[in-house]
Amino acid sequence: MRQAADPPLILASGSATRAALLRAAGLAFTVMPPAVDEAAIKQAAKAEAIPPRDAAVMLAEAKAERISRRHPEALVIGADQLLVCEGEWFDKPADARAAEAQLARLSGRVHELVTAVVCHRGGLRVWQHVAAPRLAMRALQPEVIAEYVAAEGEAVTRSVGAYRVEGLGLRLFRRIEGEHTGILGLPMLPLLGFLRQHGVLSD
């Protein structure tokens, strides 16, 4: 699999996990985290009763568009993820105590990780995709939650779900439906398919 030199790829995200996914797929890219007020976009989306899938696209679009305006020659990848459980939207927990409270609210319930990826080139959106993996969490006792949060440390504050399924967090679940990379925040199979169609990758 070869990557064309043109257009250059830019990841409009500060997520180490998303960068690791692109790197594992053998892609050459530059990381440029955009200055986007995600909280304001989410608040507006909730106020206007915008569905989570559309809100996730709005967030990913804002990131890609911000960087694409500065680098129109590049193919810019923006992505974002919302956790939705029975109509309630969740954000990344601020600290360990908030992570424990969040996991307690998700315990025994099914939630969706609505994950959007948007690509911009020349200031225009050229592709988008939304994945919505469903995860069924086990009914967790408070001591199990506390032990998990203590074991993961600060990592729980970097995930919208307060867990990492690529680590010990996998033990918190009884069923997971959806592409693993979509759960991690960047649906790689659809993205790689688009990159091939766009001429960025050749087999």
Annotated active-site positions, please? 80
Q: Can you tell me the distance from the alpha carbon of 120 to that of 110, in angstroms, rounded to the nearest whole number?
A: 33
| 3-state SS, one letter per residue, for 77-127 | EEEEEEEEECCEEECCCCCHHHHHHHHHHHCCCEEEEEEEEEEEECCEEEE
Consecutive H or E run containing 31 = strand 30-31
What's the longest Cα–Cα distance across the chain?
Answer: 52
